[in-house]
Amino acid sequence: MAVLFTEKDLYAQHFDPKKFLEIYFTFHPEKEDINALIGFALKNLHKAFHSGGIKGDTLIDIESGPTIYQFLSACECFREIIATGYMDGLREELQQWLRKEPGVFNWGSVGKYVCELEGDREKWIQKEEKVRKAIKRVLKCDVTQPNPLAPLSLPPADCVLSTLFLEVACPDLPTYRSALKNISSLVKPGGHLVLFVALEANFYMVGLQRFSCLFLDQKSVEEAVKGAGFDIEWLEGTKVIFPPALSDVKGECVLVARKR
């Protein structure tokens, strides 16, 4: 089922970050499908940064949105994290969390899950503070540009992370491939790309608003990553079953690749 591509201005007008977080990032006994999706991401981020030994001075997160789950393992391995986002409203949602403003999303259950993976479930408050200290900047980003962080020109990073974003930012496969090449310009030779992708999805819902996804299979993702100048070191996939009214996503994969 093809879905008309969701343009940037529609996101700016209709995307509700608080509702998005409530739907997709709340651990709940009755939400086994969502729990499985979050758990898969958190386990593999832990694997990449703790067991996989990906570390360095700087990590750039491509389109952080309003989320911080992707930083909970990475903050242990990088001196500096640069969060990014295209929309002003989503960057502001993240800034509000950084400033501990009232009414921000409670990441406690997600933080406890990651801390349990690390061996101490009760250190989640310290973990959140470590994330806040690690995020040095929140910058505007546009992956359709050769330098996604223009007009800034930053030194290449040790690692670039992108979680469940490119498939909603790109209307077609050529644009997806181009976006990965643009992202590659931010990574130093020998540095890493950590990429999470929703597979075989056309749409997802936030409340009553439908947003498009680029339909991707695993082979297309692998070819695009290799075409952007990376060698894949490991890849893992899982099936995903969501309520049809929420999304038609069929799977998710995570890969770690090293820039040639």
Q: Enumerate residues 6+ apart whose C-beta is below 8 A from 132.
A: 98
Is residue 24 a known part of a binding site? Answer: no
Contact 148, 142 (CB under 8 A): yes
- Cα 178 to Cα 34, 50, 95, 214, 235: the distances in Å are 30, 30, 29, 14, 21
Joined tokens for residue 257: 């690749």
Question: Would the annotation count 69 as a binding residue?
Answer: yes
The token pair at 98 is: 């950084």
- What distance in Å separates the CA atoms of residue 42 and residue 164, rounded to the nearest whole number? 13
- Residue ranges of the binding site: 69, 142-143
- Residue ranges of the binding site for S-adenosyl-L-methionine: 69, 142-143
